[in-house]
Amino acid sequence: MKVFMIGGTGLIGSVAAREIINKGYYVTSLALPPIPKGLLIPKEMKLYLKDFSKLSDADLIELFKDCYGFIFAAGIDERVEGPSPIYDMFYKYNIEPLKRLLPLAKKAGVKHSIILGSYFTHFNKEWPELDLYNTHPYIRSRVDQEEIALSFSDEEMSVSVLELPYIFGIQPGRIPVWIILAEQILKMKFYTYYPKGGTTMITINQLGGLIANLLEKPNGALAIPVGYYNLTWKEMLAEYHKALNLNRKIKTVPEWLYRFGIKKVDNQNKKKGIESGLNLIELSKIMYREAFIDKKSIEEYDIPDDDILKAIYDSVKLSYEVIKGKKEMIGMVKE
C-alpha cells in the first residue's frame, strides 16, 4: 500500500517515513529544499523537492492516487514570530493547506489522514479557566486546525490529529529546536532560573512508531493527546546542564518575577511590531503548571520505551555544537 506525506525531510516526517516503510508501505513525499547535509532519508522514499501549494489540484490528485494514507507533517509552530496579527501566518501554513488537501485526499480515495498538531489543543480542553484559545494566537490556530481537519472525517476517510508534546531527538544536518533554550541558559550567570512546573514529552523514535502504528488503525474523527514521559522543568534542565557542561544550581523563579521579567521582552517586541504566537506574559499560567499527559492515551498503539534522558542530552549537545560553531546546519523551513 502507498502513503503520501508532506514534510518527509523534517525531523518527524523522515523518522515516520522510515517506520512506515519498515511496515511494507511505499512512501511518496513532497518537501521544500534544501535537504540538510547528511540527512538520513529512507532510500525507499520517493521524494520530490517541491512546494505543494504551487501544484495544481490535478497534480496533487495524481500524488494521492492509490494511496491508503496521507500524513501532513508540515506547517509552523509557536517559535515563529511576525507582524500582527500573527494568527494569519499560522492560518496560512497550518490551516489553509488542510482545507485544500483533505478534500483532494478524500476524492482520491485516501482512507486515513493523519495531521500533526499540538498538545496545546488538549490543554485548551483540560484547562478552560485559562481561556487559552483567546489568549494565544498559536493555540487558537491549532484548535481551529484540529476542528477543521476532523470535519473532513466520514465513512470514506478517517482523520486523526496527533496533539504533540515536546519531542526530543536529533536529525543530522538540521538545527534542533532546543537550541533556543540552550542559548537562553548559556546567557544566564551563576544560576539557571526557570519556572516551577513541567511538561510531557516523547522521543522522535517513539513518535515515528506511533504514526506508523496509528496509520493502520483508522477510527473516524479522532484527536489523540500524546504524552509518554512526564518531567518537571528541573528534571529536564538537569540534562540540559550535562550537555552544556554547566555545573550550577537551578533556581525556581516566582511567577510574579517571571511575568515581570518577560514583560520587558514583550514590550520590545511590540515596539518592533512583532507578535508572538504565545502571549509571553500569560504563558506563565502554562509554564507554572505540570502539563502532563498519561501514556495510557497512546498505549493501544504499542509504543515501546525509550531513553528520554539520552534523547534530551543528544538534542542539547548538538545544539551546543552549533552554538560553538562546530557544526554547520540548517534550521526550520516553512512547508
- Domains present along the chain, CATH in parentheses: 2-168+201-227+292-303 (3.40.50.720)
pLDDT value of residue 326: 72
Q: What pTM was computed for the model?
A: 0.94
Per-residue pLDDT band for 172 (boundaries 50, 70, 90) equals: confident
pLDDT value of residue 48: 95
Q: Please give the DSSP secondary-structure letter assigned to residue 92.
A: I
In sequence order, the β-bridge partners of residue 70 are 4, 113
* pLDDT above 50 (res 335): no
Considering only 30-39, 215-224, 257-266, which range has the smallest mean pLDDT? 30-39
pLDDT value of residue 41: 80
pLDDT value of residue 37: 75
Per-residue pLDDT band for 131 (boundaries 50, 70, 90) equals: very high
pLDDT value of residue 331: 57
pLDDT value of residue 287: 97
Per-residue pLDDT band for 6 (boundaries 50, 70, 90) equals: very high
27-50 pLDDT, tens digit each: 999 999 888 777 778 889 999 999
φ/ψ (deg, to 5) at 283: -60, -25
Cα 20 from Cα 45, distance rounded (Å): 10
In the chain, pLDDT over 90 holds for what percent of residues?
A: 88
Give the pairing of strands 2-6 and 26-31.
parallel
Q: What is the mean pLDDT of residues 298-322?
A: 96
142, amino acid identity: R
* pLDDT, averaged across the chain: 94
pLDDT value of residue 329: 55
pLDDT value of residue 40: 75
Cα 326 from Cα 305, distance rounded (Å): 32
Closest listed residue to residue 137, CA positions, set 178, 102, 86: 86
* pLDDT above 80 (res 319): yes
Cα 157 from Cα 103, distance rounded (Å): 10
Q: What is the mean pLDDT of residues 132-136?
A: 98
Q: Is 59 helix (H, G, I), strand (E, B) or coil?
A: helix
pLDDT value of residue 334: 45
Per-residue pLDDT band for 178 (boundaries 50, 70, 90) equals: very high
* pLDDT above 50 (res 253): yes
Per-residue pLDDT band for 113 (boundaries 50, 70, 90) equals: very high
Cα 183 from Cα 186, distance rounded (Å): 5
Q: Please give the DSSP secondary-structure letter assigned to residue 254.
A: P
pLDDT value of residue 328: 65
Q: Please give the DSSP secondary-structure letter assigned to residue 110.
A: -
* pLDDT above 90 (res 295): yes
